[in-house]
Amino acid sequence: MKLICINCPRGCELSVTETDGGISVEGHACPRGETYGRDEYSVPVRMVTGLVKVAGARRPLPVKTRQPVPKGKIYEITNLLANTTVLPPKSIGDVIIDNVCGTGVDIVATANYS
């Protein structure tokens, strides 16, 4: 599997292969790239950002996952966000959805809303 490390602007091209002893990563210029390659190969995750509706208001509330979630859950999460309406006020860091889609990760507000 070929990957570009996205942890810094250098963008090292990684080659990840499965070996008898586990997962081998080549092409990284630092340890972060090796970790990224292993994680992307075994359990790829991403942060999810989005907007939720605010009852009685036109302006939506921006939100994000507190931690990265499995890539396979992104579609389900974005659908849930599209169908979520919250009541104001909200503050940065407020939990909007607890344990979103069973990931163990919360959706939190990224802006204040009064």
Question: What x/- string results for residues 19 through 48 when contact with ligand SF4 is judged by CB under 6 A?
Answer: ---------xxx-xx---------------
Number of residues counted as binding ligand SF4 (CB under 6 A): 11
For 6-54, give the DSSP string. Answer: -SSTT-PEEEEEEETTEEEEES-SSHHHHHHHHHHHHS-EE--EEEEEE
Q: Is residue 13 a contact point for ligand SF4 (CB under 6 A)? A: no
Counting contacts by CB under 6 A, is residue 12 touching ligand SF4?
Answer: yes
For ligand SF4, the binding residue among 5, 48, 96, 100 (CB under 6 A) is 5
List Cα–Cα distances, 66 to 17, 49, 62, 99, in angstroms: 30, 10, 13, 10
Shortest CB 14 distance to ligand SF4, Å: 7
How far apart (Å, rounded) are the C-alpha atoms in residues 64 and 53? 14
User: Counting contacts by CB under 6 A, is residue 104 touching ligand SF4?
Assistant: no
Residue 72 DSSP class: G
Residues that bind ligand SF4 (CB under 6 A): 5, 7-8, 10-12, 28-30, 32-33
